[in-house]
Homo-oligomer: A and B are copies of this chain.
Amino acid sequence: MQTELSRKLGVEHAVFGFTPFPAVAAAITRAGGFGVLGAVRYAAGDELKRDLDWVQAHTDGLPYGLDVVMPHKKVEGVTEAEVEAMIPEGHRQYVRDLLARHEVPELPEGEKGGWRITGWMESVARTQLDVAFDYPVKLLANALGSPPPDVIERAHGRGIPVAALAGSARHAQRHKEAGIDIVVAQGYEAGGHTGEIASMVLTPEVVRAVDPLPVLAAGGIGSGEQIAAALALGAQGAWLGSVWLTTHEAEMHSRRLTEKLLAAGSGDTVRSRALTGKPARQLRTEWTDAWDDPEGPGTLPMPLQGLLVAEANSRIQHHETEALLGTPVGQIVGSMNSERSVQAVFDDLTRGFERAIDRLDRIAGSA
């Protein structure tokens, strides 16, 4: 499965695997794909350093990348405390009431909210980059628009191509104008932040919009047949995130959450602002229902919503509160029905791709 882009990046298969777990990222790279480690959960530079050391030691010199969440526009001189102060008391009370109704205990003494997502703050993301640039990362991806110009310049200075996610052709064009090298077209069916245009329509639109830049298709891809579909639509590779969540290597910290993922159907996700304030696809739970409830206070804009719910999410995760326990995941969760190794998933992807090509050749050949 070789495209111009995968050849350029020196990987065997044009399969890009996004994951927050170092062991998964390394295993994707070892399997012949391109592992991309999501950095948004690393609040401290030394934790990221520890995990990049590990990835570096377990990828046999093969290429891997880093995904940050960096706002394009700088927010000058605003502290996290000042942002926190903008959260209305009514919303805080709604969170307390929800947690009380579901009898979610406090976090144990000394336990900090492990899921506190501060990586979206530019200062944190810049610390992550300072760390990452000490490693031979071969791709820098940004999940939140184009990164700031100086960051693109810094990456290019080191020969590192920069990728950015886009949910519309217009969004993708802005990335191209900002000097981005690779656009990840994130379809409606994808896990995490996503727009309203489905991959079947979005992928070719983005390919046309940013030509000749290479496009990776994201959203709805968890099988080799879906990779073949994405490449038929003009993508130079597939970007997969959800499918790795139920691999043995994924450190999900919650057995119940893994079981929820294994049991969920494609209709069990929802595009909700509950997690960050922007629409992100995730498992539908009583938690997302509460935020999407027209009788409730509704969600706050990014980044307020993320700060509002950070500790609550940590408590829900820690205590594995069944009804509220969720995670970002795409509609392909319906096909994630068994736990396997990353290598086994990868083997299925390449076999499914070959099956799809054989089938298409038969269909085309008899035309």
Contacts and interface: CB of A to CB of B under 8 A. Distances in A.
Interface of A: 1-3, 12-14, 168-169, 187-189, 195-202, 204-205, 219-221, 223, 225-226, 228-234, 265-267, 294, 330-332, 334-335, 350, 353-354, 356-357, 359-361, 363-364, 366-367
Contact of A360 (B196, B232, B265): B232
Contact of A14 (B13, B197, B230, B363): B363
Nearest to A367: B1
Contact of A198 (B2, B199, B360): B199
A225 B233 CA distance: 5
A231 B198 contact: no
Contact of A357 (B198, B233, B266, B360): B360
A197 B332 CA distance: 10
Nearest to A1: B367
24 contacts: A2-B363, A2-B366, A3-B363, A13-B367, A168-B266, A188-B188, A189-B201, A198-B200, A198-B219, A199-B200, A200-B200, A200-B229, A201-B266, A201-B331, A204-B226, A226-B233, A232-B232, A232-B359, A233-B356, A234-B359, A294-B294, A350-B367, A357-B361, A357-B364
A14 B363 CA distance: 9
A266 B220 contact: no
Contact of A334 (B1, B205, B266, B360): B205
A220 B232 contact: no
Contact of A188 (B198, B330, B360, B367): B198
Number of identical monomers bound together in the oligomeric complex: 2
Contact of A364 (B169, B196, B353): B353
A267 B233 contact: no
A332 B219 CA distance: 17
B197 A360 contact: no
Contacts of A220: 198, 200-201
Contacts of A14: 363
A350 B294 CA distance: 47
Interface centre among A169, A230, A331, A361 (most CB of B within 10 A): A331
Contacts of A363: 1-3, 14, 231
A361 B1 CA distance: 10
A189 to B, nearest CB: 4
A350 B363 CA distance: 12
Contact of A226 (B200, B221, B332): B200
Contacts of A231: 359-360, 363
Contact of A232 (B204, B229, B331, B367): B229
Nearest to A168: B267
A233 B230 CA distance: 10
Given A2-B363, A229-B233, 9 more contacts: A189-B198, A200-B226, A201-B266, A202-B266, A204-B225, A205-B334, A228-B360, A229-B230, A231-B360
